[in-house]
Amino acid sequence: MATRKILEFGRDDMLRKHSRAVEKFDRRLWTLLDDMADTMYEADGAGLAAVQVGVLKRCVVIDVGDGLIELVNPEIVASEGEMINAEGCLSVPGRRGTVKRPERVTVRAQDRKGRPVEVKGEGFLTMALCHELDHLDGVLYVDKMIEDVTDREEDV
């Protein structure tokens, strides 16, 4: 396991590309997921998409404090409610902004071995799920940002 370089918005166009579905569930994928988790934890993040480390595969890792979640080929299949919260991003260092997201989501995906999984989230987990899945389609939170709150202490 190793950490990888996190791509930064404005410096790398790859963040704007659509990620491709994972078809092979092999040691290369497992190494990628392990490296993504190491990279996320090293950067003190709550989530990371493969594209953020330069790999155009539809996989994300998330840990909002309840343990590591690995999702391969994830898709939101249900959402409800609405919330607005401040977000940041490891690929947009030093900035924060408010974004409107669903209050609750259900995500279907596969685990590292290709088995189906379902994650239901609310609150911070929903925000992380939506944020990371956006990355897979080349969308960053700054694209949906309502207001830049970078310099507001209460939002940091």
Binding residues for Fe cation: 89, 131, 135
Q: Is the Cβ–Cβ distance between 105 and 76 less than 8 Å?
A: yes
- Please enumerate, by residue number, every residue annotated as part of a binding site: 89, 131, 135
Q: Are the C-beta atoms of residues 41 and 62 closer than 8 Å to each other?
A: no
User: Do residues 132 and 52 touch, judged by C-beta distance below 8 A?
Assistant: no
**Would you give the distance in Å from CA 142 to the centre of its chain?**
14
Residues 6+ apart with CB under 8 A from 2: 35, 38
Residue 132 annotated as catalytic:
yes
Catalytic residue among 87, 132, 147, 153: 132
Residue numbers annotated as active site: 132
